[in-house]
Amino acid sequence: MLEDSPIHVDHILAIEATVDNMRSQNEATHRLLQDILDKLGPAQARNVPDPIRPPTCGSVRSSPIPTSSAGQRKNFLKPSTPSEFNGDWSAGKAFLTSCQTYIRLCPESFEDDLTKVVWAMSYMKAGCAGRWANREFEHEVKSGHLHFIDWVDFEDEFRKDFMPLDSEAAAVNVLETMSYFQDRRSVDDYLNQFKDLIEDSGYSDPKTIVVKFRRGLDHRISTALAGMTYGRPTDTDPEAWFRLAVRMDQNRAADEAFHTSHRQFNLPTPGISRIPMASRPAEEVQRCVPIL
């Protein structure tokens, strides 16, 4: 043991030398960083952390955006649930779209595709849609499973039974008739249906779209648009025609409301007779003349 003592002393001396060397390097690094901070100036140096002391837990600011912001944001979403569907072909597309939208916004509410399918069929309560859903549930009771493999399979079967097989041909046929005309509807309601028909029909030529749109407008609005000499949109800008027709319809409705209220204001009040001045007695007329 006495013979090993010089070796232990050498190890201790070597460790002390290493520590002294590391301390010297640390001090040199500190002086270098301090020089850099002095050159940056007080305004910029204020934003630089201490090069020697690591930041403490209390000095670290938490990020204003949480790491699970997407999940928390979904928790606050309250999208509208689909309306009840009775099997009407004209509402089939809207119903399926509303289901797809809800599932996309709230994916955490659905464990699997079976949950999505059953949830969608829960809104099919009336008409042929209700009978269709009842048949599917009865099949599940007998066989232990639904007809549908997954949500995509449900969508395909739904389209076959509750949406036109050839929506493009159906939309074109409607646009060739007068069934899509505005009639007594507002331009807004007419425009919503018209845009759906144009999308389903596949029409892309702007002139064709403008012609079909003007053809279905209320006669008074269509005539006013045709007689415009200034500010009339070009026939290649359907959106401009849409905006102008909506504005004219709103102005027409406001004008009719004004004249209606004006006529009601000028109606004679019941119980008060309006006797012409000439038919009144002379003494009453004389009392009505102001004394100068």
Give the pLDDT confidence score for residue 57 in this predicted structure.
Answer: 42
Give the pLDDT confidence score for residue 67 in this predicted structure.
Answer: 37
pTM: 0.47
| pLDDT tens, residue by residue, 98-127 | 999 999 999 998 999 999 999 999 999 999
Mean per-residue pLDDT, 145-151: 88
Q: How confident is the model at residue 132 (pLDDT cuts 50, 70, 90)?
A: very high
157 with 135: CB under 8 angstroms? no
123 and 144 inside one domain: yes
- Pick from 183, 174, 177, 173: nearest CA to 222: 183
Torsion of the alpha carbons at 8, 13, 18 and 24, rounded to the nearest 10: 160
- Looking at 163, 188, 204, which one is the last position of a domain? 163
Give the pLDDT confidence score for residue 7 in this predicted structure.
Answer: 56
Q: How confident is the model at residue 15 (pLDDT cuts 50, 70, 90)?
A: confident
Higher pLDDT, 116 or 48: 116
* pLDDT higher than threshold 50 for residue 242: yes
| % the chain with pLDDT above 70 | 71
Instruction: Judge whether 134 lies within some domain.
Output: yes
Instruction: Judge whether 282 lies within some domain.
Output: no
Instruction: Judge whether 280 lies within some domain.
Output: no
258 and 175 inside one domain: yes
Average pLDDT, the chain: 78
Give the pLDDT confidence score for residue 209 in this predicted structure.
Answer: 95
Torsion of the alpha carbons at 253, 255, 257 and 262, rounded to the nearest 10: -170
Instruction: Judge whether 190 lies within some domain.
Output: yes
Instruction: Judge whether 56 lies within some domain.
Output: no
Give the pLDDT confidence score for residue 35 in this predicted structure.
Answer: 73
99 and 115 inside one domain: yes
Domain span including residue 158: 83-163
Number of structural domains found in the chain: 3
Instruction: Judge whether 60 lies within some domain.
Output: no
259 and 185 inside one domain: yes
Give the pLDDT confidence score for residue 206 in this predicted structure.
Answer: 95
104 and 35 inside one domain: no
* pLDDT higher than threshold 70 for residue 12: yes
94 and 141 inside one domain: yes
Instruction: Judge whether 59 lies within some domain.
Output: no
